[in-house]
């Protein structure tokens, strides 16, 4: 692993493959590598404690998300609003009002963090200014609820997925629709851009996953094999793999270039509700309605650890940026923190009085947000 790597060897390897790194840049690269090695070498024995419980909304929360630096976060709710919060103080910065139904899907345009997109059951998506809380654009065109959305990495487009079976791409500058991605025969429930931003993957209740070329809006591959609704789709960091979770109790790994299924990750006894890669794309985590989660190698497809102690279904799962911890959110009213390699539950985040729908790490890995059906969100650090 990088923590043990010989720095000089690594630099010469990087220089061979990266002509832009000239002699004058070597010291800079060396410094970055040493800092990264230090970070990876740090023992992560952090215990989280409740910093604040925010009476965030008058109805249940749908989703929570951090900006890249973790300085602020957002909450979406059935109360038709999205709120922006200051992480350090727990103060509310803005309430984004205007949707006429549930605000379900929310996102910052990370890494920039100056805009927020909200997708609603009112069939529209809105683009907002983080600084002022004002609405820049309302994207109209879907004929049913919007349930998922994402910014492309360049922050020039928003993709929305809807119960109307289509996904749409919208131009952030002009507010115009760029393209409609048609081909699914049932609701689109999950979508993800690759890190380059030239491809988008969509997962549908029609049991299939579609891979789209973003510039042309054309379908490149249809990933066929699951025997139940898709719950979750994601690209890995280098854009080579796609992970899918399904109500058929399995998770599949696909090669993006060919659309071939590389592996089926079996083992769960009930629906797989969420899947994700770690930031490097070496690990996969799966969360299931059976109350357990698993970590797999994205290289060997072997199960590395089983995360077993929740007493209810696990709806959301994510890694910290370092790839050493997994965070799960469950219907048992708790979120749990796990050691990736051993599968040991390191901490139970208790206190919510109803199921936790959403949870997130900040990029530093030192703050956690949980959002619940109990109308509150909690900041842990």
For residues 198 and 111, what is the distance between their CA atoms, to the nearest angstrom?
17
Per-residue pLDDT reduced to its tens digit, 191-224:
999 999 999 999 999 999 999 999 999 999 999 9
Q: What's the mean pLDDT in 108-115?
A: 96
* Full DSSP string of 104-123: EEEEE-TTT-SEEEEEETTS
The pLDDT of residue 30: 84
Residues 145-188 have pLDDT tens digits of: 999 999 999 999 999 999 999 999 999 999 999 999 999 999 99
Measured CA to CA, the distance from residue 210 to residue 242 in angstroms comes to 11
pLDDT interval class at 3 (50, 70, 90)? low
Task: Give pLDDT tens digits for 266-311.
Answer: 999 999 999 999 999 999 999 999 999 999 999 999 999 999 999 9
Residues contacting residue 250 through CB under 8 Å, at least 6 positions apart: 226, 264, 265, 266, 268, 272
SS3 of residue 242 by DSSP: strand
State pTM to two decimals.
0.89
Please compute the mean of the pLDDT values over residues 122-133 and round it to a whole number.
98
C-alpha pair distances (Å), 325 with each of 187, 266, 292, 322: 32, 22, 15, 8
């Amino acid at each position: 692993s990088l923590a043990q790597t010989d720095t000089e060897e690594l630099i010469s390897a990087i220089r061979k493959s990266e002509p832009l790194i000239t002699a004058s840049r070597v010291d800079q690269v060396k410094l970055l590598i040493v800092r990264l090695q230090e970070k990876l070498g740090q023992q992560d024995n952090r215990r989280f404690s409740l910093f604040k419980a925010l009476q965030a909304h008058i109805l249940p929360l749908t989703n929570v998300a951090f900006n890249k630096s973790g300085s602020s976060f957002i909450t979406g709710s059935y109360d038709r609003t999205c709120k922006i919060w200051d992480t350090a103080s727990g103060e509310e910065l803005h309430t984004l009002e205007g949707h006429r139904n549930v605000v379900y899907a929310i996102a910052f345009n990370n890494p920039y963090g100056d805009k927020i997109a909200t997708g609603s059951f009112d069939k529209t998506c809105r683009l907002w200014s983080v600084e002022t809380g004002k609405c820049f654009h309302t994207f109209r065109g879907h004929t049913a609820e919007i349930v998922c959305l994402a910014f492309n990495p360049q922050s020039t487009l928003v993709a929305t997925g809807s119960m109307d079976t289509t996904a749409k791409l919208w131009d952030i500058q002009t507010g115009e629709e760029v393209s409609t991605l048609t081909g699914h025969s049932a609701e689109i429930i999950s979508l993800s851009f690759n890190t380059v931003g030239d491809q988008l993957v969509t997962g549908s209740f029609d049991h299939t996953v579609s891979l789209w070329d973003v510039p042309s809006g054309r379908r490149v591959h249809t990933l066929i094999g699951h025997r139940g609704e898709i719950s979750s789709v994601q690209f890995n960091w280098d854009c080579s793999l796609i992970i899918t979770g399904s109500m058929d109790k399995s998770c599949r790994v696909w090669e993006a270039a060919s659309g071939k299924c590389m592996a089926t990750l079996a083992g769960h006894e009930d629906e797989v509700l969420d899947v994700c890669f770690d930031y490097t794309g070496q690990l996969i985590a799966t969360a299931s309605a059976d109350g357990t989660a698993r970590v797999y190698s994205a290289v060997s497809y072997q199960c590395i650890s089983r995360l077993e102690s929740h007493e209810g279904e696990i709806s959301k799962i994510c890694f910290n940026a370092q790839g050493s911890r997994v965070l799960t959110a469950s219907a048992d009213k708790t979120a749990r923190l796990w050691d990736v390699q051993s599968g040991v539950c390191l901490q139970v985040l208790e206190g919510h009085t109803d199921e936790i729908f959403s949870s997130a790490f900040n990029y530093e890995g030192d703050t956690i947000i949980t959002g619940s059906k109990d109308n509150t969100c909690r900041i842990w650090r």
